[in-house]
Amino acid sequence: MKRIKRFNVWQTAKVVALMYVLVIAIFMIPLGLIGSVAGGLFGNAFPFSGAMLIFLPFVYGILIFLMTALGCAIYNLVARWVGGIEVEVELVEA
């Protein structure tokens, strides 16, 4: 068995935040297009402007960064008390 002893808080938070920014950005483009078409069909204005659809992934990224950093710090603290998460690793030849 291998054990995850600790996470580097800032590096992990940066990677996870960037992953979320990219994923959210991918979903915001279709959401904006669907909202524009649906809003036009029903005569309602779509509540999110184009600038907001561009801005939201970065807001999510900042929030995810902070939450991941907090989660890693808590994991590192708890792992000192009870050990870490145990994983089983298998070597596979290419």
Query: Would residue 41 count as lying in a domain?
Result: yes
Query: Would residue 93 count as lying in a domain?
Result: no
The torsion defined by the Cα of 11, 15, 16 and 18, in degrees rounded to 10, comes to 130
Query: Would residue 32 count as lying in a domain?
Result: yes
Beta-bridged to residue 87, according to DSSP, are 2
Residue, of 35 and 61, whose pLDDT is higher? 61
If one counts the domains in the chain, the total is 1
Average per-residue pLDDT in the chain? Answer: 83
Query: Would residue 14 count as lying in a domain?
Result: yes
Query: Would residue 94 count as lying in a domain?
Result: no
Tell how far CA 44 is from the center of its chain.
Answer: 31
66 vs 9: CA distance, rounded Å: 10
The domain of 77 spans 2-87
44-80, pLDDT tens digit by residue? 555 656 667 778 788 888 999 999 999 999 999 999 9
pLDDT band (50, 70, 90) for residue 39: low
- Classify residue 37 as exposed, middle or buried by CB count within 10 Å of its CB (0-12, 13-18, 19+): exposed
Tally of CB atoms within 10 A around 17: 21
Query: Would residue 20 count as lying in a domain?
Result: yes
Provide, rounded to the nearest whole percent, the portion of the chain with pLDDT above 70: 84
